[in-house]
Structure 1
């Protein structure tokens, strides 16, 4: 493995560490409370992880990763706002957080022909595989769209059972995509959350039915 590849994977693994940490922390507080919790730290760690994984996707020339992160990123910020964290952030940092993904994508798309060639016509990523990976990312990202709609209806940040069910399905597709692409970052990063997803579903169902688990 070349030096350049190592540091690129390093960025990806660091992003997955943040994502794994958010899931483990949320799982721990949920187990203690015996109900599904949406702690502020979950969303803060999500921001860090998404920021790094977006960079990783660009460096790996992987549109599936970039597409999924771009949508979820702003939902993370919305949840921080719902929990009162956003207003505590300095205005300069707010501007950086809001504009960085937009600027990065704009720079990538300056030359549409080059952008299309870079992301959609790669010899090492067949079209069917790109579609498969993107489908996994779309489903995995949809969990946050679902969470956003659900939370907006309640006017507070929550993580409903449907969020965890979608997480489980989307994660399975992404792991399969990672195996086909020989991408250890995606494989290890997604595998960590499986148990937490199942436990949140179980706890959520137990909370609704009051049946011991």
Structure 2
């Protein structure tokens, strides 16, 4: 499979990721307050798995870590809403992840030797930007940890205002990293995301 194929896979994943916020945005505009519909979590899981495959192909540890962590958070939120669905999804997702990893390793796209070579070719500048990328990914992941804790406390899926603050900070940092990596998929995704995060913050402050 060519690089062009994986770019298409990446854009499909980013499309699913963007669609979730379009759905959330429309629901928010309709209700005139920040809300999170059920479809948001389904699109999150589908988009995260697709982008995980793309990130593995790109051998990008920053986005591999982010997408892997995200899947577990999305499943936990979905569990609060549809626990019976999550039990079925876990088995299916496990098979998908195993299939993705098996294909990439057996096809030679990702191998221990290639990863070692990639690390040895890293310059100081690359390392600095990887640190920046990981910081951005930590901030991006923290938003869902805060959201997870808030949901666990209230025993329902909720989205605290801190979620949107961490989304903005993480998105700006990851956008910088994606620009350095010249990755059109993640540049597009982070740029679009910031518009949605700002719109949600607008509704939250407007309702106070």
Tell me which interval the TM-score lies in, with the shorter structure as reference length.
0.7 to 0.9
Once the two structures are overlaid, the 10-residue window that deviates more, 16-25 or 99-108, is 99-108
Q: Is the 8 Å Cα contact of residues 15 and 50 (structure 1) preserved in structure 2?
A: yes
Paired with 1:161 and 1:122, the residues of 2 have a C-alpha distance of 41
Name the CA distance, whole Å, in 1 between partners of 2:142 and 2:98.
20
Structure-1 separation of matches of 2:10 and 2:112: 27
Which residue in 1 is equivalent to 2:75? Answer: 77
> Residues 142-161 of structure 1: matches in 2 within 5 Å?
142-161=142-161
> 1:48 pairs with 46, 49, 61, which one?
46
CA distance in 2, matches of 1:121, 1:104: 25
For 2:156 and 2:86, locate their aligned partners in 1 and report how far apart those are by CA, in whole Å.
19
| TM-score of the pair, normalised by structure 1 | 0.84
Q: How far apart in 2 are the matches of 1:154 and 1:97?
A: 27
Q: Which runs of 5+ in 1 are unaligned?
A: none
Q: Are the counterparts in 2 of residues 63 and 119 from structure 1 also a CA contact under 8 Å?
A: no
Tell me: CA distance 1:152–1:122, structure 2 relative to 1, closer, same or farther (3 Å). farther
Cα pair distance change 1:143/1:105, threshold 3 Å:
farther
Within the alignment, does 1:200 sit opposite 2:200 as a pair? yes
Tell me the TM-score normalised to structure 2 length: 0.86
1:68/1:141 contact within 8 Å kept: yes
- Note the 1:1-213 alignment, pairs <5 A: 4-84=2-82, 86-88=83-85, 91=88, 93-98=89-94, 100-101=96-97, 114=113, 117=116, 120-123=119-122, 126-207=126-207, 209=208
Tell me how far apart the structure 2 counterparts of residues 118 and 22 of structure 1 sit (CA, whole Å).
37
**Does the residue aligned with 2:34 lie in a helix, a strand or coil?**
coil
CA distance in 2, matches of 1:138, 1:159: 18
> In 1, distance between residues paired with 2:90 and 2:26?
29
Pairs aligned (count): 202
SS in 2 for 1:158: coil
Tell me how far apart the structure 2 counterparts of residues 98 and 145 of structure 1 sit (CA, whole Å).
Answer: 22
Q: Per the alignment, do residues 137 and 120 of structure 1 end up closer, same or farther by CA in structure 2, a change over 3 Å counting?
A: farther
